[in-house]
Amino acid sequence: MALKSKIYKAELQIADMDRHYYGDHSLTIARHPSETDERMMVRVAAFGLFTHERLEFCKGLSDTDEPDLWQKDLTGQIETWIETGQPDERRVSQASGRSERVIVIAYAGRTADIWWQGVKGKVERLQNVAVWSLADGVAEALGKLAERTMRLQLMVQDGEATLGSENVDPVAIRWNVLKAGAA
């Protein structure tokens, strides 16, 4: 018998002073049985950092043809494809061909560094791909925010971001840009 995804609910308040975006979002997040709290919360943080009226969670781990998040235009064309984790270079290349912009958010410290060294040569030539690596400990700290029902606040100012809740101290979301994609 296959295990079903767990459903999480989040009320996410975003104050992004860098982009002059302020909004409240009611999110329903399906957590795949093999997904960790850390990965799920990295997806939530990515939603907040790149939020747009058409950005949405996808099937992610449940469907290999979809990313974790995407933003489509009104015709259904993919504008932004967001992956979390350490996708192989073929997946990143396919995403690059299917969308205008690809963002990969790697995490897991040293293993993310090893992953980047393995895919760097092939991914660097893809102009529309940006690759970020979360600083050590960020994904783990984000995972501590996970609850079945969450009230979260994301604040972005001067290139720095924090995500917090009523029950857990805010987490500074720090990252290194390994590859800046074309705007």
**Cα 117 → chain centroid:** 21
- Which range marks the domain in which residue 173 is found? 6-179
What is the domain count for the chain? Answer: 1
- CA dist 152 and 14 (Å) reads 9
Residue 173 falls within a domain, yes or no?
A: yes
The tens digit of pLDDT for each residue in 100-118 reads 999 999 998 889 999 999 9
Give the pLDDT band of residue 62 (cuts 50, 70, 90): low
Residue 1 falls within a domain, yes or no?
A: no
Q: Where residue 143 sits, what CATH number does that domain have?
A: 3.10.640.10
| DSSP-assigned states of every residue in 114-149 | HHHHHHHHHHTT-TTEEEEEEPTTHHHHHHTT--SE
Residue 38 falls within a domain, yes or no?
A: yes
Residue 156 falls within a domain, yes or no?
A: yes
- Paired residues of 57 in beta bridges: 69
What is the pTM (predicted TM-score) of this model? 0.92
